[in-house]
Amino acid sequence: MSEQLIERQDNGGIVTLTISRPKALNALNSAVITELEQVLVSLETRDDLRAVLITGAGEKSFVAGADIAEMKDKTPEQAREFAGQALRTIKRLEKLPVPVVALVNGFCLGGGCELALACDWAVATDNAVFGQPEVLLGVIPGFGGTQRLPRRVGPAMAIDLVTTGRKIDAQEALRIGLVNRVMPQAELGAYVDELTKQLRSNGPQAVRGSKQAVHDGLDQDLDSALALETSLFALCFAGDEQSEGMSAFVEKRKANF
Ligand code: CAA
């Protein structure tokens, strides 16, 4: 049987995906990207999906970038195809209807940083190292970094990072808003347990609606985005969740979604 490059663990609809190519620091080659896309397609239609967490195997690396050895001899046409496949896959991750969280447990470079940027938020362990070092290899970021990085950290910091190729540590990543939290690696498991508990106790449709409002709203002018929020808010009152959530509050009990 061929080795699984994307390990899957399903904890009642909270799915953890582990990119598993530890000998190459989980670098993204075509095989990893193909398998990741297949897994994401299988998740897209799952009504019971509550959240997706994505991480890298081992304690040294999240993802150390696109696979340099595989890219080395590509023609422009092959490079376009490779980037296209990765962009499509990363977009699928971004568009999942549930929160997607990057658990950055080490090197998060190049395509790895671009993967983390497509997640709704990221947490980092204190050994994490971030960067877009493509210029050191004579290329620019190709998996969305020049577009998603400025949207997350602002254009000045993004241009600093993509033109110098400098690496930053977890604390700097926190300061510039690239990650939401930093913790020792030994505490990551407890964080995941707590997050799982929190997400499970919330109304699943409300969680999906919240993500949809933010994502879709960001592509619109403010008035249209506020109208979208109002529509999604009103829609909540058409389902069972709102009635259960508000009744539970009034009856001083825990909601059962
Ligand atoms: N592609 C392919 N293989 C990689 C890799 C990558 N991006 N990163 C690491 N590896 C491999 C190494 O070649 C090495 O393999 P061997 O044992 O067979 O030699 C193995 O992983 C372990 O790596 P190191 O021995 O280099 O480990 P280290 O601890 O000394 O250094 C590191 C770690 C600083 C992350 C270093 O490996 C490194 O600089 N890697 C490349 C990082 C990089 O440039 N990423 C961007 C890639 S380009 C890109 O992503 C383009 C894009 O936007 C699409």
Rounded distance between C-alpha atoms, residue 187 and residue 191, angstroms: 6
Q: Are 178 and 152 within 8 A, CB to CB?
A: yes
Whole-model pTM over 0.85: yes
Does the Cβ of 99 fall within 6 Å of ligand 1?
no
Rounded distance between C-alpha atoms, residue 157 and residue 132, angstroms: 12
Question: How far does residue 24's CA lie from ligand 1's centre (Å)?
Answer: 7
Does the Cβ of 115 fall within 6 Å of ligand 1?
no
Question: How far does residue 63's CA lie from ligand 1's centre (Å)?
Answer: 9
CA-to-CA separations, 1 to 4, 6, 36, 57, in angstroms, rounded: 9, 14, 18, 20
- Active-site pick, 59, 134, 229, 251: 134
Residue nearest to atom 28 of ligand 1 (CA): 25
Question: How far does residue 217's CA lie from ligand 1's centre (Å)?
Answer: 37
Nearest residue to 132 (alpha-carbon basis) of 155, 108, 151: 108
Which H or E run contains 229?
helix 222-236
User: Two tokens at 236?
Assistant: 């909540």
**CB-based burial label for 56 (10 Å; 0-12, 13-18, 19+):** buried
pLDDT digits (tens, 9 = 90+) for 112-149: 999 999 999 999 999 999 999 999 999 999 999 999 99
Catalytic status, residue 244: no
- Amino acid symbol at 87: L
pLDDT digits (tens, 9 = 90+) for 72-112: 999 999 999 999 999 999 999 999 999 999 999 999 999 99
Q: What is the mean pLDDT of residues 25-33?
A: 98
Domains observed in the chain: 6-199 (3.90.226.10), 203-250 (1.10.12.10)
Does the Cβ of 142 fall within 6 Å of ligand 1?
yes
pLDDT digits (tens, 9 = 90+) for 210-253: 999 999 999 999 999 999 999 999 999 999 999 999 999 999 99
What does the pLDDT read at residue 3?
75
What does the pLDDT read at residue 2?
63
Question: How far does residue 69's CA lie from ligand 1's centre (Å)?
Answer: 9
Q: How far apart are the first and last CA of the chain?
A: 40
Question: How far does residue 172's CA lie from ligand 1's centre (Å)?
Answer: 21
Say which DSSP state 159 is in. H
Beta bridge partners of 102: 54, 122
Rounded distance between C-alpha atoms, residue 219 and residue 233, angstroms: 18
pLDDT digits (tens, 9 = 90+) for 162-220: 999 999 999 999 999 999 999 999 999 999 999 999 999 999 999 999 999 999 999 99
Q: SS3 of 186, please? A: helix
- Active-site pick, 114, 229, 241, 244: 114
Q: Which positions ≥6 away from 208 have C-beta within 8 Å?
A: 97, 98
Does the Cβ of 87 fall within 6 Å of ligand 1?
no
User: Two tokens at 4?
Assistant: 């699984």
User: Two tokens at 70?
Assistant: 């595989």
Residue nearest to atom 6 of ligand 1 (CA): 67
